[in-house]
Amino acid sequence: MMASPFRSPLPKSAARIVYVGRNRFGNWVACEERGVFGGLFVSRAQALKYALVENGGHPDSIIEVTREIELYIATKR
């Protein structure tokens, strides 16, 4: 999953969008839309809990996807 080039940078107070879904191996993935944070999980509940903690407790900013997603973490070059 790649970050959208059409979104402006988030203000510090804004909630981060986190996608939650399964990868091609059936593992649960939680990934911030720009690749700032993310992880692999055994269960949906663990992925959702992680997403909620990492995005500052904003459940409306967690998007559960039905298509396969892969963990993407951005790195500075």
% of the chain beyond a pLDDT of 70: 81
**What is the mean pLDDT of the segment spanning 25-44?**
95
Q: Is 13 left (phi over 0), alpha (psi -120 to 50) or beta?
A: alpha
Residue keyed to tokens 């059936």: 26
Q: Write down the pLDDT at residue 77.
A: 60
Which of 5-9, 31-35, 38-42, 72-76 comes out lowest in average pLDDT?
A: 5-9
Across the beta sheet with 28-32, the strand order is 38-41, 28-32, 18-22, 62-64
Write the DSSP symbol of residue 42.
S
Q: Write down the pLDDT at residue 74.
A: 79
Task: Pull the structure tokens for residue 64.
Answer: 């559960």
Using CA atoms of 52, 58, 64, 68 in order, give the dihedral in degrees to the nearest 10.
-60
**46-58 tens-digit pLDDT:** 999 999 999 999 9
